[in-house]
Amino acid sequence: MDNMKDRFPYLPDRISGLGELAYNLWWSWQPSVRMLFKMLNRPAWKESVHNPVKMLRELPKDIVESVANDPEYLHHYDAVLSRFRKEMSSKGGWFSENIADPEYLPIAYFSAEYGLHHSLPFYAGGLGFLAGDHIKEYSDLGAPLVAVGFMYPEGYLRQKIRADGWQESVDEVLDRDAAPITRVLNDKGEQLVVKVPFIDPPVYVAVWKVMVGRVPLYLIDTDIEINDPWNRGISAHLYIGDIEQRLRQEIVLGIGGSEVLNTLGIKHSVLHLNEGHPAFAILERIRERVQGGMGFDKAMEQVRATTVFTTHTPVPAGHDVFPFHLMDKYFSHYYPLLGLNRDAFLQIGTHPENPAAGFNMTAFALRMSAYRNGVSKKHGAVARRMWQALWPERQEENIPIDFITNGVHVPTWIEPKMELLLNRYLGPNWLEDHDNPVIWELIDDIPDKELWQVHYWLKMKLINVIREQARRRWVEDKISPTNVVAGGTLLDPSALTIGFARRFATYKRADLIFQDMERLKRLLNDRWRPLQIIFAGKAHPADDPGKRILQRIFNFAHDPDLRGRIAFVEDYGEQLAQYMVHGVDVWLNNPLPPLEASGTSGMKASLNGVPHLSILDGWWIEGFNGKNGWAFEGSGDDGKDAEAIYDILENNVIPLYYKLDDYGIPREWVKIMKEAIKSNAPLFSARRMVKEYVQKFYQSALKSA
């Protein structure tokens, strides 16, 4: 790692540990570390958009020096730093106590995206947050893991909505020196550059590192001088549309990523593939064994027995299929190294029902992994049906695809004020033991008034953040008054507020609630019991139907007929997601079933006492218990599904929300909030999820390693 002293020349020695803290994302889920940065200077913390690296680089010398002489600050600093160093150097934790010696070779986790923090825009949506939450939890449990992914210099996309509602994407190049990411250096002190093997003409990748607690995440970057422009563009942004470039991206991730681990001397025991994009890493594991003298079949068996594959999407177009002529172009030198001929090689990636279509990454990964799973109970069943053809001799229920329902990293997604409240009532150790449902029973001890006050404060905060964003865009970017209105400046903190925020993929049906305009208007415009809805989300740049849905909602958001009760907030990302899942009253979800594999934003909302109103699909089939939110059977028919939502709003949600006791507290509503937290938090935590991966898969895979 490069020298902290060069990075932060003004940082006095007495508090030089701040540099170390800034470069480990541990701070992002530790309120006491965040407070340490905030205490340095509050406006600077805000100005940096909560990015300590950026903040430390920009703070004037006198401010930093005054803090270094402040006993109160130093007291807090010493306490935090010693806890940090102790935790980062420890190999202890649940894993070593229950599963295996932590000296075990690490598990290698490969994913095309990671949602860790908004200062690292290397994600598009749920798949990335799942990966980010997974590795954070790994760190907390003390399990040995090394993660591999891409450094996307242009991130996903920065969303700007034109006054006519059309989404435009603005490329914004990441300032690598102001992000919590460091260059991995070679022995000459230069950034490590690795040649991706077996690809001709060659592609080189530079290596970066992000520390996620105890877990190192290595990110590869093709945007370096030695590469020609076509190669430089491989890691420019997520999910490139051009099929050949996409293939090259996946070769670089799987094969290049494996080579990076080799170059760093990091051996791994088990490989976990998050979706099919990085699946070529499997080939490298087989090739190494074949080069060592093993036959293909034996090598494949060994690799299979130590490979875990998680599939995430029931949408057919979500699975990459590469035409054979491109596979020939890039792999004709490669398959002989596996001891295979062309046909045998292509065979491992064909889908039996459509063998001519090309090399299917999911079919390939499913064949080559002994441990396979969908991401909810329902999705497991959907995946078994979807991939039945790979096991023609088996009945559907015996297709070997299991499920592990997603969960969210509780320390990341719990709001700090809510965390303080729980500290008071759940006992001091609740966070250490948060996947234990018994602990959460104590939620009932929280006085209704206190929970309601925290919630109301978070709702005000959300609305303030939304208004401030609109004000800034008005002043700095000279957006039109239409955008200012649509962006949520007219929101009313006292109105019942629904949140809907996610990727604008068409199957998510963001505009479903606008099916029956007359009925919706009656709800929005009710004089005594108004409803308002806050929308946010990005459409994929190539998804015009998704952009049209977004445009439709944006246009409602500035239609005076809807009285300012609809808002569309621009540029959904990790930070806005945090404010929204903490601060709205109800979290709405209405995808076209069965296309939501799991969904995780509703888990984040429930954890913070924001009940979920959702179609019964994905995780909610397991989560809904009749008293922790609302549910309706999806018919798949837009009209009927919208009606189900209006019925629930009219008969349940609205009357409950507005029914106050003589202290002004909606008691029955608070009861649902408590039930939402209590029943969902332990079950849909990343802690429960990661323990399940370990116990169902890794533990037995490690035996074969």
Q: Which stretch binds ligand PLP (CB under 6 A): 182-190, 286-294, 446-454, 572-580?
A: 572-580
Q: Which stretch binds ligand PLP (CB under 6 A): 10-18, 277-285, 428-436, 571-579?
A: 571-579
- Taking CB under 6 A as the criterion, the residue among 125, 165, 583, 594 binding ligand PLP is 125
Q: Is 59 helix (H, G, I), strand (E, B) or coil?
A: coil
Q: Quick check: 601 binds ligand PLP (CB under 6 A)?
A: yes
Q: Quick check: 129 binds ligand PLP (CB under 6 A)?
A: yes
HSE at residue 476, side-chain half, CA atoms within 13 A, is 6
- Taking CB under 6 A as the criterion, the residue among 44, 253, 383, 577 binding ligand PLP is 577
- Taking CB under 6 A as the criterion, the residue among 17, 216, 276, 573 binding ligand PLP is 573
CB-count burial class (<10 Å; 0-12, 13-18, 19+) for 34: middle
Q: Please state the closest distance from residue 21 (CB atom) to ligand PLP, in A.
A: 24
CA distance linking residue 224 with residue 206, whole number of Å: 7
- Taking CB under 6 A as the criterion, the residue among 93, 380, 546, 599 binding ligand PLP is 599
CA distance linking residue 513 with residue 517, whole number of Å: 8
Reference 55, options 17, 19, 30, 13; nearest CA is 19
User: What is the footprint of ligand PLP within residues 396-455 (CB under 6 A)?
Assistant: none
- Nearer of residues 379 and 565 to ligand PLP, judged by Cβ: 379
Q: Quick check: 111 binds ligand PLP (CB under 6 A)?
A: no
Q: Which stretch binds ligand PLP (CB under 6 A): 152-160, 198-206, 313-321, 599-607?
A: 599-607
CA distance linking residue 117 with residue 221, whole number of Å: 19
Q: Which pair of tokens denotes residue 42?
A: 């509050």
Q: Quick check: 629 binds ligand PLP (CB under 6 A)?
A: no
> For 438-443, which contacts have Cβ atoms below 8 Å and span 24 or more sequence positions?
439/682, 440/677, 440/678, 440/679, 440/681, 440/682, 441/678, 443/674, 443/677, 443/678
CA distance linking residue 140 with residue 135, whole number of Å: 9
Q: Which stretch binds ligand PLP (CB under 6 A): 146-154, 270-278, 597-605, 667-675?
A: 597-605
Q: Which pair of tokens denotes residue 37?
A: 């940065």
Q: Please state the closest distance from residue 195 (CB atom) to ligand PLP, in A.
A: 34
Total binding residues for ligand PLP by CB under 6 A? 12
Q: Quick check: 144 binds ligand PLP (CB under 6 A)?
A: no
Reference 141, options 96, 80, 81, 203; nearest CA is 96
Q: Please state the closest distance from residue 562 (CB atom) to ligand PLP, in A.
A: 25
Binding letters toward ligand PLP, positions 479-508, x by CB under 6 A: -----------------------x------
User: What is the footprint of ligand PLP within residues 280-299 (CB under 6 A)?
Assistant: none
Question: What Cα–Cα distance (Å) separates residue 668 from each residue in 155, 232, 677?
Answer: 43, 57, 15
CB-count burial class (<10 Å; 0-12, 13-18, 19+) for 201: exposed
- Taking CB under 6 A as the criterion, the residue among 126, 132, 256, 682 binding ligand PLP is 126
- Nearer of residues 289 and 502 to ligand PLP, judged by Cβ: 502
Q: Quick check: 155 binds ligand PLP (CB under 6 A)?
A: no
Reference 495, options 584, 562, 557; nearest CA is 584
Q: Quick check: 574 binds ligand PLP (CB under 6 A)?
A: yes
Q: Is 448 helix (H, G, I), strand (E, B) or coil?
A: helix
- Nearer of residues 125 and 144 to ligand PLP, judged by Cβ: 125
Buried b (16+ CB within 10 A) or exposed e, 231-242: bbbbbbbbbbee
- Nearer of residues 574 and 617 to ligand PLP, judged by Cβ: 574
Contact residues for ligand PLP (CB under 6 A)? 125-126, 129, 502, 573-574, 577, 599-602, 604
